[in-house]
Structure 1
């Protein structure tokens, strides 16, 4: 079984068991992100059960979610209500070019192997407007691999800067600490 199918299967299992109900969210990052937007259409990339989508909506943006897990998306639709949720893969986003004013990828892109991150970033770049903002957070200081049947990639900050640069993004703000890095980027 490839790593994406294995990770999707685990997220489906977590949704059915309600083990996904965690409350960790970085409210400071949401405030930063929403104040940087020049429009209100936002994609919650890796929306899971919709927690961040709902938070983004409370900050006045028109948020919709994408996730690979049908089980998580079913919960999100019940929880969030009026938002649109769609099943999809970060490496092949089912949206037209230049659709979003912002993309929120909170601890989601780290579930891709490093070889797939540039592919996903190319898709993000394609669907993000020229004036759009990308927020993405990653884990640092660990070893790539499966933890509880979920794949995690860990990055060094310099490594992320290089990957984002090659993908056509400029990182203009970052917050690092506690084993994580939060990046804000725009298209070059």
Structure 2
């Protein structure tokens, strides 16, 4: 079983607990929203049970949200039937289908192996409209690929790609993305022992002030 399908099956088993534990939007989304036009068209890749997508929709944005976990998508649809939730993987999303004003990738890129990540980030960049922005949240630390148990959602042997802050920024910059916001937070007690990095970037040459 490859990493993609194993990750999806792990989240299928953990979906209900995940929905309970992660019921609030991730940090710094408001800063991301400030860069978007009214009624912007958004894509949420690795949307989980739909918390961020629902929050974006409540702000008036049109959002399409995808996840590779069938059970997570089912929960997301049940909670927010008016949002366009789709079962899918960011690796197979068509880049020529449509453009988006903004893309959210919240703790989803951490499940992409290092040898695929540059291609995925380039793909996401190509899906942004001319003035598009991307919001990314990941775990950072010593550069490594690991399989880790996550007790808070009872997930076992979950694949994680941990990158350094510099490594992450370099991948974004090489994909014609200009970083305008970056926040890093150190782990709290009883949490996963990695830093949290929140980055907002825009297509190069389109920098605007927050």
Compute the TM-score of the two structures, normalised by the length of structure 2: 0.82
Please, which moves more after superposition, 27-36 or 77-86? 27-36
Matches within 5 A, 1:29-108: 29-39=28-38, 40-94=40-94, 96=96, 98-108=98-108
What is the aligned length? 186
Distance 2:184 2:126 in 1: 27
> Unaligned 5+ residue runs, structure 1?
none
Corresponding residue for residue 17 of structure 2: 19
Distance 1:24 1:180 in 2: 18
Please say if residues 147 and 159 of structure 2, whose CA atoms lie closer than 8 Å, have aligned partners that are also in contact.
yes
Sort the Cα spacing of 1:187 and 1:28 in 2 relative to 1 into closer, same or farther, 3 A: same
RMSD, aligned CA: 1.8
Sort the Cα spacing of 1:8 and 1:27 in 2 relative to 1 into closer, same or farther, 3 A: closer
Please, which moves more after superposition, 28-37 or 76-85? 28-37
> Which residue of 171, 174, 178 maps to 1:166?
174
Distance 2:69 2:196 in 1: 24
Distance 1:46 1:27 in 2: 13
Corresponding residue for residue 145 of structure 2: 144
Please say if residues 172 and 186 of structure 1, whose CA atoms lie closer than 8 Å, have aligned partners that are also in contact.
yes
Please say if residues 95 and 123 of structure 2, whose CA atoms lie closer than 8 Å, have aligned partners that are also in contact.
no
Corresponding residue for residue 184 of structure 2: 176
SS of 1:47's partner is coil
Distance 2:201 2:169 in 1: 10
> Unaligned 5+ residue runs, structure 2?
149-155, 187-194, 205-210
Sort the Cα spacing of 1:150 and 1:75 in 2 relative to 1 into closer, same or farther, 3 A: same
From the CA coordinates, give the structure whose radius of gyration is larger. 2
Sort the Cα spacing of 1:181 and 1:4 in 2 relative to 1 into closer, same or farther, 3 A: same
Post-superposition, which runs of at least 4 consecutive aligned residues in structure 1 deviate over 4 A?
24-28
Please say if residues 42 and 103 of structure 1, whose CA atoms lie closer than 8 Å, have aligned partners that are also in contact.
yes
Compute the TM-score of the two structures, normalised by the length of structure 1: 0.91
SS of 1:19's partner is helix
Corresponding residue for residue 111 of structure 2: 111
Structure 1 residue 28 displacement after superposition? 4.8
Distance 1:95 1:87 in 2: 17
